Amino acid sequence: RMAGNVWRELKRDCLTLPDVDVDESDLRLTFDGGGAIAIRSTHAPDRLRGEGLDFAVLDEAAFMAEGVWSNVVRPMLLERRGSAMFLSTPYGLNWFWDVYQLGIQRRRGWRSFHFTSYDNPLIAREELEALRQETPDRVFREEYLAEFIADSGQVFRGVREAATAAVDAQPRPGARLIAGIDWGRSSDATVIAMIDAETRQMVALDRFVGIGWELQRGRVRALVERWHPVVVWAEENSVGSVNIEALQADGLPIRPFKTTASSKAPLIEGLALAIERGDLALLPDDTLISELLAYRMERLAGGGYRYSAPSGLHDDTVMALALAWHGVRYGGATVTFA
């Protein structure tokens, strides 16, 4: 898909030149003087092999397999003593970092350049400042400041320092409380997390495993009757919709949240930013702390991040807390993600 986007822009710009032959099937422009420009995807690296090259541009190089450069592209440059340019957002300390270091160390034939989004004249500085306020530090540094960061994959930072909420909190008159629910049945737990939206402190966390849906809904009702939250955000996926409808029928202020690839990232990043900046006080609960510290993100080859618990571990308290914080940020509003 990225190759197709580059092809359309390149074709548009080059069609203003005389005598250009366009080969749509091969994504190739051939010029009257004998030169040619072709666009290729590295999805299947072996298909790149072929004729020698004068110049190669590896766009978003950090997200290509290392062998694309060393085993395929570089040999194609040898015969003509061709050159290459690597463009990319960093992706941890992988092979792109290695070749970047060759220019930093001024190895013969290599030069390295570093630009941030602030150097881009097409991006308004105030937009970047707004993004900085809304984006976890690690993501902002890598995505917008183009920093190479060791890829530990840890999402939540400052977790233990944030665990300062009182464990004996009691309902207080007039408090504006928001809750989040992540449903579970057998191996996964159902978790209810509650936050005081005014003090930005967790006040309650209930976690239970291996009980039927009717009993689970009873636990939810009991917690709602005790704390009287103004809204409860509950994950709608799978079995969630049935439980949500039953609780709504009982008059509980339940709102559904559908977790998708596009909705999960801002949900988790919002919680990570709040913990990182000390905007949310956590309960010093061992399971909560453990799940937050274990939670990981994986940079995707096409851009963006995948958030999840490591294999064999759980993220039930993480998701419930993220939903509650979502409610603190957006209140009762319905938020959609493209």
Asked whether the beta carbons of 206 and 215 are under 8 A apart, the reply is no
Amino acid, res. 228: H
Catalytically active residues are 60
| Backbone phi, psi, residue 73, to 5° | -75, -45
Order of strands, sheet of 231-235, starting from the edge strand that comes earlier in the sequence: 201-208, 190-196, 177-182, 231-235, 254-257
